[in-house]
Every structure is written in C-alpha cells, then in structure tokens.
Amino acid sequence: MYARRRRGYFLMMGACIVLFVSAWSFVRLFSMPAAIAMCLVAMVIPPLAAMFANRRGPEDRWWDDPSGDPQSDEWWDELDGKKRR
C-alpha cells in the first residue's frame, strides 16, 4: 500500500519537474503562452501529489482504531480520557 502511493507520488513529482524544465528549456523558444501554461500545470501537481501520497487507504489503520493489543489500547484510552466498555 505504501509502495504504490510512494511510486505515484514520485511519478507525479517527476512529471512536475519535466514540465517545468521543458517549459523553460525549449518550449519557450516556440511559444511563451504554452510555456506559461505548462508551468501553471506544474504548479498544481505538488499539492495533488501530497494529497495522493498521504491519503488513507481502506487497509490503513487510523489513529483511533484499536490496535488489537489490549494493554496498549487500555493505555491509550487512559491517556485520551476514554472509559473502556
């Protein structure tokens, strides 16, 4: 699960770098509006990549889910001020 998200993150960030570098390396020589558009697209990719990499999958354990270890769960519930049922 983590490898798939990490691979997706690096692919998106790689695309961002390719867009930015190619826009100002050679696309600007042919069309300045196209280079600016490519940079605007590249500007949107990093926040999307971060959201993609940090999203919770269906198999991920959430912070307040029980871990399955009764002693650990009891300890965390005591710290959080929760009463065990």
Mean pLDDT over all residues of the chain? 85
Average pLDDT of span 24-35: 95
Confidence (pTM): 0.65
Question: CA geometry: angle at 48 spanning 39 and 58, to 5°?
Answer: 160
Residue 73: predicted pLDDT: 80
pLDDT for the residue numbered 62:
65
Own/partner long-range contacts of 52-56 (Cβ < 8 Å, ≥24 apart)? 52/5, 52/8, 52/9, 52/12, 53/5, 53/6, 53/8, 53/9, 55/5
